[in-house]
Structure 1
């Protein structure tokens, strides 16, 4: 049960909204309140600071709403609509009168039954859909921003820092969720790969394969309707998006493997390589699949 929160109570009241809402559903995450109405979704960031993200002030929450809008319009311009103020006068109102006390990201509502994870479970994802996703992702990567700052996130130094962070954060779970032998095996193999592939990481930078990517590209963030929508790119920490494009490809491929659709994972990789002409990607896929699986295991 939520502690009494005037903002949440107001957002559960249809009178707060500028359009008819129907039944309002609240979905709560660690960092957001998400209010689902009959046609729209309003996402309000919680005033939290976890170090890797900081929503502790109204201005920071506004800025992150704007950034989330901007980043996700790259792949879903028709879904991500606008950032709206929530104003306080006699009552709280979206785009009302009085002082702005909060901001919300307004999005078009899509049917939950069209999320790719659900469709995979129902056997409704085929190679035609995977081909479309591969084409979209390859085009997205080709147009995504890159510069010297972004490229640094593909350097061996930064990649090693990310892995060291993973191992440091999970060492306390040895023999609880991961056997010691498995932990040490992964650590040895990962470090060995990095030690022997310095030139490969350097060539990825020179080939401009380090981009401002999606950062959370798995089946739970893909709507499949008459048009494919890849949503919920990470906005709160650039470090989680700036990466080798292989990291995005590996995330979805790993997810498909996990859901016992290795056939679709392999097809996605093959089609992505055709569209992107990034044949070198195969050399890094196992490395980044392992990275994505490790992070996924760490956070879920």
Structure 2
């Protein structure tokens, strides 16, 4: 579907909902939120890391999304429904005259005021809010499928993928984009220097099929935390080191100004389920946080490319700049630690 068709779907398919409908758009999806249910549609896009370009692929990944997210939030994901078109009208789920033009994931609507990123921005988050998240993740991680045969240096290749945005960011952010090439070189050096550690992490079973997109916007802090919206479109991006999984969450706390909570969360998790046992692994965790900031910079660059207003463009560029600077901060820490070690 196109943006105009999604707008028509909201008009023709949800006319009884009045003004209570909210539509959230990302670079890969549209989410229509009503008082009781939310409907997520995948954009017909193709990037190096995902392919939603055909109807069959969007149906497959809708089904995959429901299946994978049932591991952490099975009461939120309700199923996959077709989107029908009849003349200039669109409707979800009801079979009848017309043709199926898309598919949508149906979810239960959750209290938006309990979304973790909103609580972060309002300064309402405490360490006691984070402990149940750590405990739920530990149970999930301990039972997650171990992945063997992973290329230890794949993380370095993924780190370098942000180079595809250099030209665009150089034209919009100026010298800030120069950070990218330096960070990629530092990343290559780090992966080379820590090749044995990375191989060992694979051999010891720390690479598992987990969530892959663990940040505050994907968590609701209800009576029990709800963790949703895992990566369904790429096994490679979801089957990762447990330190990499936690790095996203902790990086998200860092960028929001909650560095102390970030540290306490990681310490609490590691006390209950020790996945970081050495100074070298602590450095690896910092590297993974740099990688996660790198990914967020790239995502916001893609958002900027597809922005439909000057305001949306500037917001995405500001976010890209913020994550690039954070990435540089992490990489500088690693470079300094390496220099101290060699003195």
Do both proteins adopt the same fold according to a TM-score greater than 0.5, normalized to the shorter chain?
A: yes
Q: 1:217 deviation in Å?
A: 1.0
Q: Distance in 1 between matches of 2:37 and 2:290?
A: 36
Note if 1:95 corresponds to 2:65: no
CA shift in 2, pair 1:159/1:31, >3 Å:
closer
Equivalent residue in structure 1 for 2:197, among 181, 196, 200: 200
Q: 1:13 deviation in Å?
A: 3.0
Structure-1 residue corresponding to 2:12: 13
Residue pairs, 1:79-228, within 5 angstroms: 79-88=76-85, 92-98=90-96, 99-148=99-148, 151-152=149-150, 155-167=151-163, 169-170=165-166, 173=169, 176-178=174-176, 180=178, 182-183=179-180, 185-228=182-225
**Is there any run of 5+ residues in structure 2 with no aligned partner, and where?**
301-343
Encode CA deviations 1:239-281: one digit per residue, 9 max, x unaligned. Answer: 2212111111111111111111111100111111122221335
Q: Distance in 1 between matches of 2:30 and 2:43?
A: 7
Encode CA deviations 1:115-173: one digit per residue, 9 max, x unaligned. Answer: 1111112222111111111111222222222233xx41xx3331221123234543664
Note if 1:245 corresponds to 2:235: no
Checking the alignment, whether the CA contact within 8 Å between 1:139 and 1:276 is kept in structure 2 is: no
Q: Distance in 2 between matches of 1:109 and 1:177?
A: 42
Checking the alignment, whether the CA contact within 8 Å between 2:159 and 2:294 is kept in structure 1 is: no
Q: How many residues align?
A: 290
Q: Distance in 1 between matches of 2:27 and 2:276?
A: 39
Superposed CA RMSD: 2.5
CA shift in 2, pair 1:266/1:43, >3 Å:
same
Q: 1:211 deviation in Å?
A: 1.2
Q: Secondary structure at the match of 1:156?
A: coil
**Is there any run of 5+ residues in structure 1 with no aligned partner, and where?**
none
Q: Distance in 2 between matches of 1:69 and 1:3?
A: 23
Encode CA deviations 1:173-223: one digit per residue, 9 max, x unaligned. Answer: 45725264x445433432222122111101111111111221211111111
Checking the alignment, whether the CA contact within 8 Å between 1:88 and 1:97 is kept in structure 2 is: no
Encode CA deviations 1:225-251: one digit per residue, 9 max, x unaligned. Answer: 112111111212222212111111111
Structure-1 residue corresponding to 2:29: 32
Larger helix proportion, structure 1 or 2?
A: 2
Scaled by the length of structure 2, the TM-score of the pair is 0.76
Q: Secondary structure at the match of 1:124?
A: coil
